[in-house]
Amino acid sequence: MQQINAFFTTLHSYIGGNNWFIFLLLGTGLFFTLYLKFPQIRYFRHALRIVKGKYDKKSDRGDTTHFQSLATALSGTVGTGNIAGVALAVHLGGPAALFWMLATAFLGMCTKFVEVTLSHKYRDFDEQGMVAGGPMYFMKKRLNISLKNGKTIKTGYWLGGFFAIATVLSSFGTGSLPQINSISNAIFATFGVQHVITGAVMAVLLALIIIGGIRRIAQVTEKLVPFMAIVYFLGAIAVIISNYQNIVPSFVSLFTNVFTGTAAVGGFLGAGFAFAFNNGVNRGLFSNEAGQGSAPIAHAAAKAHEPVSEGMVAILEPFIDTIIICFLTGMVLLSSGVWNQKVPNQFQRTDMVVLAERYDEHNAAHAALLGDYLNNKATLPLFTGTLDVVDGKIQNDNSILHARSVAEEIAVSKGGVPFTGEITVEKGRVVQTSSDLVFTGSSLIHSAPLTTVAYTQSFLGDSGKYIVALGLLLFAFSTAIAWSYYGDRAVTYLVGAKYVMLYRIIFVIAFFVASFIDTTIIWNLSMLTVAFMTVPNLIGLLILHREVKQTIGDYWDGFKKEYPNEKFLKNK
């Protein structure tokens, strides 16, 4: 498993974790924001009116209403990224990473507007009469190359096929595996229910919902999304108010470290600008999926006679998902102070590194060395040999890092009793000698467990963890529901609707299995699949930028004729 994780991490460093990917993502959002003159601001009010159904017509074709499409798309984006993803971003990059998440969301509002408009414009209907839409369809219809001799190179067809394959993979890497993994971890930590039991129950519920297709999915998500958002919002406000003295310092910290990175504080060993920027943008994309091309698949199903109107609805999505919900999660983490505090926890092998020497984090020189190592600026000698353990205590004097912090009070057990024996280590990694060998101790934590601890830091006390468990369960489960639809539309594009049921069965099985797989590997897999979808989608959007502008202009020309008395039209 460690070798697989290392492969995913290495591959990610060349794709989604590389600067070129960040510049492509943010550059596309910035380009369209300037090219279309800030539509995420100018069209925001109009988008709210469309969602309310003010301009609906009975003749509009589609499978869902505007609100149902928004709810389905939100259920796909509001998930572990809002609870576990924000915590991971802050854990890796400090408060500055949260700022870059929010900046990514602002530009993402425009990117999502563009990608949804094009996907709705070129949607199809499958052999069963259901809407089949998404970036793969505008790629197939608009990105082919016509030669002077009358022949056509089907570049769009193959690019759409690559995107569809990436969507199927991402439905597992983004929509299925990390969602149930976070659910099962949170339920186990909160209620002590075994991962496999949670996975089995949730898999059955998932199967009952997704077999009904988009109409049943939309019926579930339009009720589930508002409910889960309200519950999570009230819990977040409770924590923030309880730590009112930290509200202003926490908010200011988002901006003071933006271009310098976050200095070492508490158990946090620091993060430079590049590390905070990279992880903030990546986690922002994972949260709101702007540019990834997933949400346009849900929005393509909306009943609308104009594609631009549904594109405007999509503007609301990153705003709700990231600028509101992720910001609240970030403020909970920062104001509670738990993001840089070590807490007792069970270690994950893939998060552990055994160093060849001993380091004192309270020593400035040692702390600088550790910080540079964790931020990929330098290397440290790693331990190879055996750890001698007596009655659960490691006798070696090596420092052990867990979750990017120096671990303390480490204990080793096997079968529930203190372990005595030797543990083999190769290049800093514990060799898998026994599946029931457990390491515990105090260290930083990340992802869902970090948010869970933060929610207990209020007048709610330990009961706050139940809000996170419930929120994570609803958020993550709704994400899996939406992504099953994204995947089956991609399967329809590739091989036809008759294979959709087979895909759904495999999706449910993978959902169950992922409930008891190492979470670090799942997160690294999800980052890869996100990049595989995003790159071809963004390239297609940039190629068709003139058509996007023309389509928007045509929309407003027709709208002014049909609704000449709308007061806000003079600003369009």
SS3 sequence of 19-48: HHHHHHHHHHHHHHHHHCCCHHHHCHHHHH
Q: What share of the chain is helix, strand, coil (3-state, %, to 5)?
A: 65, 10, 25
Closest CA to 138 of 162, 157, 166: 157
Residues 6 or more apart whose Cβ sits within 8 Å of residue 420: 389, 390, 391, 392
225 and 76, same structural domain? yes
Q: Largest Cα–Cα distance of the chain, in whole Å?
A: 82
Please provide the DSSP assignment of 151-164 as one string.
Answer: -EE-HHHHHHHHHH
Residue 426 lies in a domain: yes
In-domain check, residue 164 = no
132 and 271 co-located in one domain: yes
pLDDT at 470: 84
Residues 560 and 461 in one domain: yes
Do 529 and 510 lie in a common domain?
Answer: yes
The confidence score (pLDDT) of residue 570 equals: 54
pLDDT in tens, 55-111: 888 888 888 888 888 888 887 777 677 887 888 889 988 999 999 999 989 999 999
Instruction: State whether 50 and 190 are in the same domain.
Output: yes
154 domain residue, yes or no: no
Residue 114 located in a structural domain: yes
Residues 292 and 393 in one domain: no
In this structure, the answer to whether residues 113 and 235 fall within a common structural domain is yes
pLDDT for 136 equals 94
Looking at 443, 474, 501, which one is the last position of a domain? 443
| pLDDT in the model for residue 568 | 60
In sequence order, the β-bridge partners of residue 385 are 425
Residues 39 and 118 reside in one and the same domain: yes
Domain boundary among 423, 443, 463: 443
* Cα first-last separation, the chain: 54
Domain ranges, residue 370: 343-443
Is the CB of residue 4 less than 8 Å from the CB of residue 521?
Answer: yes
Going 441 to 446 to 449 to 453, the CA torsion angle's sign is: positive
**Domain assignment present for 448:** no
Q: Are residues 269 and 321 in the same domain?
A: yes
Is 118 in contact with 307 (CB distance < 8 Å)? yes
Amino acid, single-letter form, for residue 36 = L
| CATH number, residue 42 | 1.20.1740
Taking the alpha carbons of 224, 226, 231, 235 in that order, is the dihedral positive or negative? positive
- For residues 330 and 347, membership in a common domain is answered with no
Q: What is the pLDDT of residue 494?
A: 94
Q: Among the residues of 289-421, which ranges form H helices? A: 295-299, 307-318, 327-336, 364-374
Of 443, 475, 494, which residue is a domain's last?
A: 443
| Inside any domain, residue 134 | yes
Q: Tokens for 514?
A: 């992922």
Residue ranges for the chain with pLDDT beneath 50: none
Residue 185 has a pLDDT of 79
